[in-house]
Amino acid sequence: MTIDWSWIGDHTDDLTSLTLSHLQAAMTAVFFGLVISLPLAVLAHRVRPLRGFLLGLSNVLFTIPSIAIFVLLLPVSGLTRTTTVIGLTVYTLVVLLRNTVEGLDSVPAKTKEAAKAMGTRPLRTLLTVELPLALPVIMAGVRIATVMSISLVSVATYIGDGGLGQLFTDGFQRDFPTPVIVGVVLTILLAVVADALLVALQYVLTPWRRRRA
């Protein structure tokens, strides 16, 4: 299997555009996944009877095949980027919701009691004590959700989107391996770079862990 390097040089602009589109879809889904999962995780953490229901619901959604989710969304949002983002967001929830709940559970009870004894209101305790201490576990979920979303964007090719996934379709249809190889390499690079940036972000956001180390 050989690579046509001239094809890569002739399609640099297209590759750049597809890569940015791919990354935008994945990161938008992770963002909305966080927006949805954070309040749900706090609710599941505080109201124990809801914990099993919310985590179970997210697990059920995760079992739906990705193509099926996109097809089910077509009557609602059509062949648009919105369909891609909604589908990917659904898949991020199972990871983000569970990790956020586990992160909040990992905060020592004595720490929360100390904040309460100092007169800190529950909302402020959540924002300044619980979430920061839960951040490493939450970020682990964000990293998994990001890599997963980047890998799943290509599936949206079946609804006319898909970012780098369009290279796979093009290569298979023409029996031309170069676009397929390039698409795989760029997808892997996106996942590796995104994960590295999230590790760096976590390092910046958790200075107390550096001091302890």
Give yes or no for a contact between 194 and 146, defined as CB atoms under 8 angstroms apart. yes
Binning pLDDT at 50, 70 and 90, where does residue 140 land? Answer: very high
Alpha helices, DSSP H, located in the chain: 5-10, 12-46, 48-63, 66-77, 81-105, 109-117, 122-125, 131-152, 165-174, 177-205, 207-212
Q: What is the pTM assigned to this prediction? A: 0.89
Binning pLDDT at 50, 70 and 90, where does residue 1 land? Answer: low
Q: Which two tokens stand for residue 201?
A: 């972000």
| Residue 213 reports pLDDT greater than 60 | no
